[in-house]
Amino acid sequence: MESVQATKQRFGIIGNDPKLNRAVEKAIQVAPTDISVLVTGESGVGKESIPKIIHSLSHRKHGKYIAVNCGAIPEGTIDSELFGHEKGSFTGATTTRSGYFEVADGGTIFLDEVGELPLPTQVRLLRVLENGEFLKVGSSKIQKTDVRIVAATNVKMVEAIEKGKFREDLYYRLSTVDINLPPLRERSEDIHLLFRKFAADFAQKYKMPTLRLEDGAVQTLLNYRWSGNIRQLRNVAEQISVLEQERTINREKLRHYLPDMGSNLPAVINPKKNESDFSSEREILYKVLFDMQRDVNDLKKLTLELMNSDSSAGNASKVKEENSGLINKIYSKDHNHQEELAAIVDEEYEEPADVEVLNIAEKASEKRDDKYDFAEEIQEEESLSLQDKELELIKKSLEKYNGKRKDAADELGISERTLYRKIKQYNL
3-state secondary structure of 103: helix
pLDDT in tens, 37-50: 999 999 999 999 99
Rounded CA gap, 420 and 427, in Å? Answer: 10
Model confidence band, residue 159 (pLDDT cutoffs 50, 70, 90): very high
Sorted by where each begins, the domain ranges of the chain are: 4-182, 185-255, 276-426
Q: List, in sequence order, every beta strand (DSSP E) within 50-100.
A: 65-69, 84-85, 97-98
Based on the number of CB atoms within 10 Å of its own CB, is 192 exposed (0-12), middle (13-18) or buried (19 or more)?
Answer: middle
Mean pLDDT check: name the lowest of 42-46, 210-214, 285-289: 285-289
- How many CA atoms lie within 13 Å of 75's alpha carbon, on the beta-carbon side? 7
Q: Name, in order, each residue with C-beta under 8 angstroms of 294's C-beta and a sequence gap of 6 or more.
A: 374
**Helix H or strand E encompassing 249:** strand 248-249
Per-residue confidence (pLDDT) for residue 317, from 0 to 100: 54
Per-residue CA distances from 223 to 184, 255, 317, 343 (Å): 11, 11, 79, 40
pLDDT in tens, 223-266: 999 999 999 999 999 999 999 999 999 999 999 999 876 444 44
Mean pLDDT check: name the lowest of 117-121, 289-293, 351-355: 351-355
- 299, 355 contact by CB (below 8 A): yes
Model confidence band, residue 272 (pLDDT cutoffs 50, 70, 90): very low
Q: Do domains 4-182 and 185-255 have the same CATH topology?
A: no
pTM of the model: 0.60
- 409, 416 contact by CB (below 8 A): yes
CATH class of 4-182: alpha beta
* In CATH, 185-255 is 1.10.8.60: yes
Rounded CA gap, 3 and 390, in Å? Answer: 93
DSSP letter string, 339-401: HHHHTTS-TTSPPPPSPP--BHHHHHH----SS--------TT---BHHHHHHHHHHHHHHHT
